[in-house]
Chain A
């Protein structure tokens, strides 16, 4: 795990736009031509990643009869109709799935961030018995295949009469070992021990120190944990798939899966699946683009710059 927590010594990488010669100190780099081949490779990679998104964007505009008859990359005329059709399908159950996903991912993300912040802060700031043991047991949880958890979780939930409830999907996802790991890394990097000690000398209680000093300093890390959890829960399929029977409580992933499964026997539903897939990824992509400035991708890998 080296390289994850090491503070960066490196100066800001020269950006593509800087003019050569203005930098002092290090020897002037060779004239900065654009390296065509590497740039082309990078753009090719980007296009490969955008291809299915571009396809679904176009396919969602096609009416039923156009989907199988016109060239795939030619836009159709039916986007509005398709969305209307999707909205009418079983009294707007699609939007219900969307709202459920927002609920699971939003509430789950918030709770998960709080738990991770607590645990991460405790592991980073205090020296206490069982600290490493706790951390290692928690990390071993990362290795647990979801299915070995999901079956007994289902059976235990059934014992407690909780299957097919919102809680059965929400509760097991609140604790994320990876979130705790990130919380620890961020707290270690962002909260100086001297400050904690100083606050103690001034008579502040531990809770107050956490709330007033640590939380503001950990804020960028906490945003990252929240987003990571949000995406993880939004993308989750197995747990709701096992826990839920009533499709009114389905998140988007399970809902679209059932729709696709029905579509296998009624191809008319394919248009709905495609439109649904598009509408399901648009909010997440928009969220990504919007919060880019608040969220450094680097933080996701656990690297912290001091």
Chain B
């Protein structure tokens, strides 16, 4: 480097600058991500031991529990049941939501379609509605006394299904997630479609390919990376479902307080008061999420030739 002395001082400043810019993020990460995670792991290996009657100072102490909390978390039938429920729910939500998102994105991207900006905004709108409020709105739409659907079914003399219990509950719950998430995913896929060079399908168009054929043969294969990304985030969001079932719970007896794994963790920690067991369960869930994420990333990296942009 043939820089003047002054430049040397400046280049020191250049070297230090990125660390300065990263400082706030690093401090916040340490305080609100790393520290809590470490603490959760630490706690998950402990339990409370009560001496005597458990009264007075020092009667309760935290002692090492080893894997005890983990074995009880992994053998907990309630946790297994909630995990299975959420897997069933995810098996409906993810394909339907992404299928609709892709379908609407392709429609927005095709020629000769009207009302595009209206539809784009309307379908995206639910993104602005908090999950709790979405659940309130749909909850009322499901409630026989208020629902317009039940009203119409009643007038038509048809049986009115109870959407808040048993099998239909899965559909009712999935519908809320599909309603809330389709727009966001649609925007991601639509953006990828808009970024494709039109030249790619000009030739196909000249050869008389229909819009449908172009969509199926050219557009969809080219947006696979975005589909992988949206799939990935949808799976994670699905596993973490909490707000919607929690909100619908007061409206029905069909939703137990451990409906989803996160609800189970919440009720263990704050209703049951066993933060040790709850932390172990939370760690298990986090590890499962990571394992699943890495597996998905591995598969998608192998499947998509374009990789993941890196």
Contact = CB atoms under 8 A, between A and B. Distances in A.
Contacts, number: 335
Contacts of B33: 141, 144, 149, 175
A8 B194 contact: yes
Interface string B14-55: 110111111111101101110111011001000000000000
A55 B137 contact: yes
B202 A122 contact: no
B283 A119 contact: no
Contacts of A234: 130
A229 B95 CA distance: 27
B282 interface: yes
Given A50-B122, A122-B18, A115 B28 contact: yes
Nearest to B268: A151
Interface residues of A, number: 116
A98 interface: no
B94 interface: no
Interface residues of B, number: 118
Contact of A52 (B15, B132, B137, B270): B137
A238 B136 contact: no
B26 A134 contact: yes
Interface stretch (B68-76, B138-146, B156-164, B165-173): B138-146
Interface stretch (A82-90, A215-223, A256-264): A256-264
A172 B32 contact: yes
A147 B266 contact: yes
Contacts of A125: 18
A234 B130 CA distance: 7
A206 interface: yes
Interface string A119-159: 10111011010010010011011111111110111011000
A49 to B, nearest CB: 5
Contact of A3 (B123, B192, B282): B192
Nearest to B30: A175
Contacts of B118: 43, 46
A148 B37 contact: yes
A301 B112 contact: no
Contacts of A59: 140, 146
B128 A231 contact: yes
A210 B21 CA distance: 10
B293 A147 contact: no
A291 B225 CA distance: 30
A290 interface: no
Contact of A49 (B133, B183, B310): B183
A68 interface: yes
Nearest to B186: A45
Contact of B242 (A47, A52, A140, A147): A147
Nearest to B178: A48
Contacts of A72: 146-148, 151
Nearest to B120: A297
B145 to A, nearest CB: 5
Contacts of A14: 111
B138 to A, nearest CB: 6
Contacts of B113: 16, 34-35, 38-39, 42
Nearest to A284: B128
Nearest to A286: B128
B146 A285 contact: no
A26 B22 contact: no
Given A155-B39, A281-B128, A1 B123 contact: no
A71 interface: yes
A55 B151 CA distance: 14
A1 B136 contact: no
B195 interface: yes
B130 A206 contact: no
Contacts of A1: 225, 229, 308-310
Contacts of A147: 240, 242, 262, 265-266, 282, 285
A201 to B, nearest CB: 9
Contacts of B195: 3, 6, 8-10, 303
B196 interface: yes
Contacts of A206: 13-14, 17, 20
B303 interface: no
Interface of A: 1-6, 8-11, 13-14, 16, 26-27, 29, 32-35, 38-39, 41-43, 45-53, 55-56, 59, 67-68, 71-73, 114-116, 118-119, 121-123, 125-126, 128, 131, 134, 137-138, 140-149, 151-153, 155-156, 171-172, 174-175, 180, 200, 203, 205-207, 210, 231, 234-238, 242, 252-254, 256-257, 260-261, 263-264, 270, 273-274, 277, 280-281, 284-285, 287-289, 292, 297-298, 300-301, 303
13 contacts: A1-B310, A26-B202, A27-B205, A29-B205, A49-B182, A118-B24, A152-B35, A231-B127, A237-B243, A242-B266, A288-B121, A288-B128, A301-B191
Given A119-B22, A152-B37, A210-B21, 7 more contacts: A16-B114, A38-B112, A53-B137, A122-B17, A171-B32, A260-B136, A298-B194
Q: 6 closest Cβ contacts across the A-B interface?
A: A46-B122, A122-B21, A152-B36, A175-B28, A126-B18, A206-B17
Interface of B: 10, 13-15, 17-26, 28-29, 31-33, 35-37, 39-40, 43, 100, 103-104, 107-116, 118-134, 136-141, 145-148, 151, 179, 182-184, 187-188, 190-192, 194-198, 202, 205-206, 211, 223, 225-226, 229, 236, 239-240, 242-243, 246-247, 250-251, 262, 265-266, 269-270, 275, 278-279, 282-283, 285-286, 289-290, 293, 304, 306-310
